[in-house]
């Protein structure tokens, strides 16, 4: 059993490849069906420089609907992965301001996902229709230097290329950092799940308002 425990949080646009990256690393299989993430947690044992580390991997939702929920994942973190898709230039800068606001002082690793699509003819043609092209390694490196990221790395969850290196670098960075906000992991997960339930109930109630005859006053449970 690992005596050293660290927490990693991964952020990025929906469908940018961050969840596939986590699943391939932690489970060794590539998910062929895309399911949008709301909140997910994985654990993996990573060995770097002779140290065995239990790395908690916190996946987050990239959709705007969860902007209020996502910050609950950040406390007690040791390292942040900002992911973008190489085939989606617009996703490169989307998460920098949020991470800088909520995770100031934590090591950041910028990760270009889906690098296998950089030379994919269909991808190139689709981007050309909007006068865009895949993000180059030089462009990714420039952004990483601009935001003070520890590293800029690229990977392909589909082929497996670069996946293990991402988490080896992330683990090394996590070992050198101390989280600025301490919060018990069990309590953190409970609050996150409660917030998720509240958010889902709020969204559902907007779509399907409950008839007044079926509403129950909260005063029955909370005087």
Residue-wise pLDDT for 29-70, tens only, equals 999 887 676 568 899 999 999 999 999 999 998 776 677 888
User: Judging by DSSP bridges, how do beta strands 79-85 and 4-12 pair with one another?
Assistant: parallel
pTM: 0.80
What mean pLDDT comes out for the span 123-141?
A: 98
Domain annotation for the chain: domains and CATH numbers: 4-183 (3.40.50.300)
Q: What is the pLDDT of residues 103-117, one digit of tens each?
A: 999 999 999 999 999
Residue 184: pLDDT band by 50, 70, 90 thresholds?
very low
């Amino acid at each position: 059993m690992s005596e050293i425990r660290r927490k990693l949080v991964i952020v990025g646009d929906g469908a940018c490849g961050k969840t596939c990256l986590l699943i391939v690393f932690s489970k060794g299989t590539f998910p062929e069906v895309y399911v949008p993430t709301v909140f997910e947690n994985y654990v993996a044992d990573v060995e770097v420089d002779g140290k065995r580390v239990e790395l908690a991997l916190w996946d987050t939702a990239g959709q705007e609907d969860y902007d209020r929920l996502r910050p609950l994942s950040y406390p007690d973190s040791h390292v942040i992965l900002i992911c973008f898709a190489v085939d989606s230039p617009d996703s490169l800068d989307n998460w920098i301001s949020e991470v800088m606001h909520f995770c100031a002082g934590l090591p950041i690793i910028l990760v270009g996902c889906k690098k296998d699509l950089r030379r994919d003819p269909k991808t190139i043609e689709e981007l050309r229709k909007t006068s865009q092209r895949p993000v180059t390694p030089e462009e990714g490196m420039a952004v990483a230097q601009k935001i003070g990221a520890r590293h800029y790395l690229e990977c392909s969850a589909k082929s497996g290329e670069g996946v293990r290196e991402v988490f080896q670098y992330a683990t090394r960075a996590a070992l050198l950092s101390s989280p600025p906000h301490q919060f018990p992991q069990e309590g953190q997960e409970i609050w996150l799940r409660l917030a998720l339930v509240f958010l889902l109930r709020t969204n559902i109630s907007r779509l399907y308002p409950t008839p007044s005859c079926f509403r129950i006053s909260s005063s029955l449970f909370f005087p």
